[in-house]
Amino acid sequence: MQSISTTRSESQILATNKVLKNTYALLALTLLFSAATAGISMTMNIPSFGILTLVGYFALLFLTTKFRDSGLGLLFIFMLTGFMGLTLGPILNAYLATANGSQLVMTALGGTGAIFLALSGYVLTSRKDFSFMGGFLMVGILVAFLAGLGALIFSMPVLSLAVSGMFILLMSGMILYQTSEIIHGGETNYIMATVSLYISIYNLFLSLLQILGALSGDD
């Protein structure tokens, strides 16, 4: 019995390590691809996508989720992250057009990387279980999303700034939660794990950029 239990435990560890390895490998590739499409968007000076950003995002997210267990899932996750990179281009161009835009972008980028590495590293080394945060994060993201729409529709910059602050906290929580789910076997699909981490990093970067821009007086 002990031998069977040990074998099962070892197989679970191997499966978890495989998901973790595949997730971080795919995350790195999607981030690079997203950066490339953002660069193309900036070079071509593509205008803002407006409402098409949400339509494209949810459509590609749906397709990625639907085909997460097949090779098409890989195609759609690159389409999703590539599309999000394209939508990022106009935003970056707007910031780079300001006096200290380059510094703002690099600071936001560095801050995003530091937060992600610190939080992921903490979970991987401590092995703490953050699954209890799942429900809270889902409700928080829904509230923040609706508040963000309200700030956009009614042109409320203060509320928009508050939403960015909420998203920084929520996306940080999502990184803790998703990394914990991977190492504790709650998430066994590396495509969905990658999507969750990518979206967290994307929103974390934009939120940091908006707050830094507001503090510098460029937003």
Q: In the structure, what pLDDT confidence band is assigned to residue 178 with cuts at 50, 70 and 90?
A: very high
Whole-model pTM: value is 0.92
pLDDT, tens digit, 9 for 90 and up, residues 55-98: 999 999 999 999 999 999 999 999 999 999 999 999 999 999 98
The DSSP code sequence of 73-137 is HHHHHHHHHHHHHHHHHHHHHHHHTSTTHHHHHHHHHHHHHHHHHHHHHHHHHH----GGGHHHH
Where along the chain do its domains lie? 2-216
Q: 201 pLDDT exceeds 90?
A: yes
The pLDDT of residue 4 is above 90? no
> Out of 14-18, 75-79, 82-86, 204-208, which region has the weakest mean confidence (pLDDT)?
14-18
Residue 218 has a pLDDT of 58
What angle do helix axes 2-43 and 71-96 make, rounded to 10 degrees? 40
